[in-house]
Structure 1
Amino acid sequence: MGRPLPYGAEGVDRQPEGVVRSPAETLAEAQRLLDAGMPFHAHEVLEDAWKSGPDEERGLWRGLAQLAVGLTHAARGNAAGGAALLARGAESIAPYGAGGPHGIEGPHGAEEPHGAEGPHGAEEPHGVEGPHGAEEPHGVEGPHGAEGPHGVDVAGLACWAAALRDDLREDGGPVPAAARAPRLRTG
């Protein structure tokens, strides 16, 4: 799973740090690591993009890294820490989905401001319940909403994070990292 390791546990090599990759390479490598049950390593790959990417995308990469390290904590049985990081990560990527302030078009083709009307016609407050019954960050489109930059499935990741947070609140973890790995991109 990567780090942090329980006391006395034998570790595996870390990912090399400071590697500059294209967004597509970053997402592919992070997905490979998530699928292999190595969410902390995926976090390190995403953290490289966060530190080296353009300023306007730093929140996206930071949020994706937080989601990956949230899964790391969940897999290690740290339910409270995992849930907090999942919430923080989902909140960080929300502006990059449909209706966010970063120029991503909404489902009807026009840019929608943060705080726009929700799918039921009324303005939705922060933390509204999503299609899976769990709170989702404001500004995130539903499961069929527009994708974020580089094909990132912002809405799908928000649903995934909410569902995993719910499971952590109910069961307390640990969860199997590979089996609970999210899909970072649409399609």
Structure 2
Amino acid sequence: MTQNGRDRDSEGRARSARPRDGLGRPLPYGAVGVERQPEGVVRTPEETVREAQRLLDEGKPFHAHEVFEDAWKSGPKDERALWRGLAQLAVGLTHAARGNTAGGARLLLRGAGGIASYHSPYGVDVAGLTSWAGELAARVTAGGPVDASAEAPG
């Protein structure tokens, strides 16, 4: 619904109805975009990891970030830093792939720092992810190109 020239959801909150590409960038109204992730979905930790990995494998790190964000907002308090860190890694990859090298590198390093104290919960390879994030952040800072599909951690 539109209100005062802005897209709104059913509760009146600002929510862009524009379609988005695979990296979450808004496209013109009427363009064919990538289906957005539903917000506020409560998943088990294993479902969260599985769904986010599927999206990363498809080159959709922005969408994976939204899945991690749902877990961050709905999960147990003692795991919020884990989910926030994973969301930051995904959005860091998103920014890097969009060409925002400074923001991408910063978010990759912040996300790695956020998950570093965890010991591979739910099958998440924390050591591998922190290493991946540091290497990608260095390459992004040096100006290397980033392809979200090719760079997504496995």
TM-score interval, smaller chain: 0.7 to 0.9
Residues of 2 paired with 1:171 and 1:42: CA distance? 24
What's the offset of the Cα at 1:2? Answer: 3.2
Structure 2 unaligned segments of length 5 or more: list them.
1-21
What's the offset of the Cα at 1:149? Answer: 1.4
Share of identical aligned residues, percent? 66
The number of equivalent residue pairs is: 131
Question: Does the Cα contact within 8 Å between 2:23 and 2:98 map onto a contact in 1?
Answer: no
SS at match of 1:171: coil
The one of the two structures with greater contact order (alpha-carbon pairs below 8 A, sep at least 6) is: 1
Residue aligning to 2:125? 153
Residues of 2 paired with 1:154 and 1:80: CA distance? 23
Q: Which has the higher helix share?
A: 2
Shift in alpha-carbon separation, 1:160–1:40, aligned structure 2, 3 A? same
Residue aligning to 2:92? 70
Residues of 2 paired with 1:19 and 1:168: CA distance? 32
Residue aligning to 2:40? 18
Question: Does the Cα contact within 8 Å between 1:66 and 1:86 map onto a contact in 2?
Answer: yes
Residue aligning to 2:151? 180
Aligned residue among 47, 53, 76 for 2:75: 53
Residue aligning to 1:95? 117
Residues of 2 paired with 1:8 and 1:170: CA distance? 32
SS at match of 2:153: coil
Question: Does the Cα contact within 8 Å between 2:57 and 2:149 map onto a contact in 1?
Answer: yes
SS at match of 1:96: coil
Letter in 2 for 1:43: H
Listed as ranges, the matches of 1:115-126 within 5 Å are none
What's the offset of the Cα at 1:7? Answer: 7.2
- Where in structure 1 do 4 or more consecutive aligned residues deviate above 2 Å? 6-13
What's the offset of the Cα at 1:8? Answer: 5.2
Could you list the per-position Cα deviations for residues 103-141 of structure 1 after superposition, in whole angstroms to 9, with x for gaps in the alignment?
Answer: xxxxxxxxxxxxxxxxxxxxxxxxxxxxxxxxxxxxxxx
Residues of 2 paired with 1:2 and 1:171: CA distance? 19
